[in-house]
Chains A and B, each alone.
Chain A
Amino acid sequence: MKPIESFEVPLPPKVNYINAQYGLKSWLLTKDHKRIALLYLGSITFFFFIGGIYALMIRLELLTPQGDFLQSTTYNKVFTQHGIIMIFFFLIPSIPATLGNFLVPMMIGAKDLAFPRINLLSWYIYLLGGVVTIYALLAGGVDTGWTFYTPFSTTFSNSYVVATGLGIFINGFSSILTGLNFVVTIHTMRAPGMTWFRMPLFLWSLYATSMIMILGTPVIAITILLLAFERLARVGIFDPALGGDPVLFQHLFWFYSHPAVYIMILPSMGVISELIANFSRKNIFGYSFVAFSSIAIAVFGFLVWGHHLFVTSQSVYAGMIFSFLSFAVAIPSAIKVFNWTATLYKSSISYDTPMLYALGFIGLFTVGGMTGLFLASLALDVHLSDTYFVVAHFHYIMVGGALMGYLGGLHYWWPKISGRMYPEGWGRFSALVIFVGFNLTFLPQFVAGYLGMPRRYHAYPPEFQVFNVLSSAGASILGFGMLIPAIYFVWSMRYGRHAEPNPWHLPGLEWRTSSPPPTENFEVTPVVTWDAYEFAPREETEVVGKFRPELDRI
């Protein structure tokens, strides 16, 4: 087996995908998956900040027990819009549309995705959905909760339900087209020698994510349309006046929205597999277990949606089935955590920024996942439902899990994407600030929720104030922590140290082309004869792991 250093690496070319063509039109009409990834990166960062502003307003209001900063109706709109923007316009597209679009063709040795024009179309559809939703927010907002439960959303709410629903509906097509592109690309465009089991685990998790996007998103699409139709006709299938059942809406809504949370976490888990293996210089422990667990999460994730309906008129017997299945879906996630941990054992860990995010993910995702089991127990859920325990649970997974993976992946692949290194010292510092701020924000919410503080209330009994003050303090630290990478990534594009093709010295296919890559990714289509995480023998690894002069500069 050849040591990593000796393969042929092209000299950094003068022409790469960023400077190959100049002008706004060359970016807005591009078919290059790498440019489309950057277009997405800009837009989802924009939406993240909007969602963050709503979060700021929530935490400001909740500093005091009285509802003094916002009126209750306004507060309803603020948490609704925080949820809608963060889920549909940030979390769901985040890793697939940025890192996925950039890396899928490179990791399989292809020149582009199967359908480049559909890729660009998916970005424009994303923007259109965003514009419609922002219009709805500016025109007056929506106050139903991101869950749009009937009959409030169909009959009694006086807010912009149909407009917001339309924005989400349009955005769903963007998700579907991205998933479709990935599935077809992975099936038909792998380079010679790139078998399924030589693929990096990031691709397995994106494939599983795409399965969910394809199978689940259409159901929320039709559900939103049925909701809009009912609102326009003033009666409908969720209306008891016609013999309808409002809980049917919840069935249809959660059939997608539960698998949607796996859309949000699976890509992040894929990133973590890459980070753990690569930054501990060791082949992932149990590759096929991790690969198949991604598929298992995608499949099992569709079987558990009724756990959101435990406190409705849903049958107790159905509740028991869903509860059992919800426990079962934790198993593949646990398999991943065990395999990551086993990979770390006796490995050569380098604590670069991406690795810090990966280690943070493992801890925080475990907490989030275990608290999910509390909620999966029927009896406990009766007590914990609609409390801050639920809010803390999903933020541990979405922020402590999904966002950490996204940030870790962004740092890891930043040299490949931009051709520059981010400042490592600031990277480690902000990772720690984010970790501390995050835990301070959400750990108190577990306690508050368990003690009975309800969610979606702008005013609360005074005994919960101490937890809310801690949480808001944590939120300001978290916000500050997240501003730092925003600044230094932009800074690095102009002033960062130029990155060589393989700054981390890794065997992945994406590191065997220049940083940034040329438009067609590879000079010659590679023929793959090695596994995804083949590292040099241990003695060499220890040398490489300990002495990295190029990373000493901050």
Chain B
Amino acid sequence: MSEHIVPVRVYITIFAVLLVGTALTVWAAFQDFPWQLNTIVAMTIAITKATFVVLYFMHVRYSARLIWVILAAALFWMGILFALTFSDYWTRNWISIGY
């Protein structure tokens, strides 16, 4: 069996990290950071938490390359949806021709 068994202490560590991240993001939400930093901090924490769940709870760290590629493809495609849609909304005001 080529299945990798992740040790329990790894799971416990990741669990603790996730709880700390949650507390951190709640605390950071009440701090008034300049510019858009509140959003950036919140999203960074969320992405970090999600990454730990994916790598360790979902075993991607120990999985075949194909799984990494498939996951990356999904994120890339969501990126396409966002990027090209926003290429419309963020440039509508660049030219004013009556609307």
Contact = CB atoms under 8 A, between A and B. Distances in A.
Complex: A in contact with B (CB within 8 Å): yes
Interface of A: 187, 215, 219, 247-248, 251, 255, 302-303, 305-306, 309, 313-318, 321-322
B81 A314 contact: no
Given A313-B92, A315-B94, A317-B94, A219 B87 contact: no
B88 A314 contact: yes
Contacts of B99: 313
A316 B87 contact: no
Nearest to A247: B88
Nearest to A248: B85
A52 B99 CA distance: 42
Dominant secondary structure of chain A at its interface with chain B = helix
A302 B80 contact: yes
Interface of B: 66, 73-74, 77, 80-81, 84-85, 87-89, 91-92, 94-95, 99
Contacts of B91: 315-318
B88 A306 contact: yes
Contact of B87 (A187, A255, A321): A321
Contacts of B95: 315-317
A316 B88 CA distance: 8
A535 B27 CA distance: 70
A322 B87 CA distance: 10
Given A302-B77, A313-B99, A318 B66 contact: no
A318 B86 CA distance: 9
B74 to A, nearest CB: 7
A546 to B, nearest CB: 47
Nearest to A319: B88
A215 B88 contact: no
Contacts of B66: 187
B88 A318 contact: yes
A315 B87 contact: yes
Contact of A255 (B74, B81, B92): B81
B94 A321 contact: no
Q: Which of B81, B84, B94, B99 has the most CB of A within 10 A?
A: B84
A211 B89 CA distance: 28
Contacts of A309: 88
Contacts of A321: 84, 87
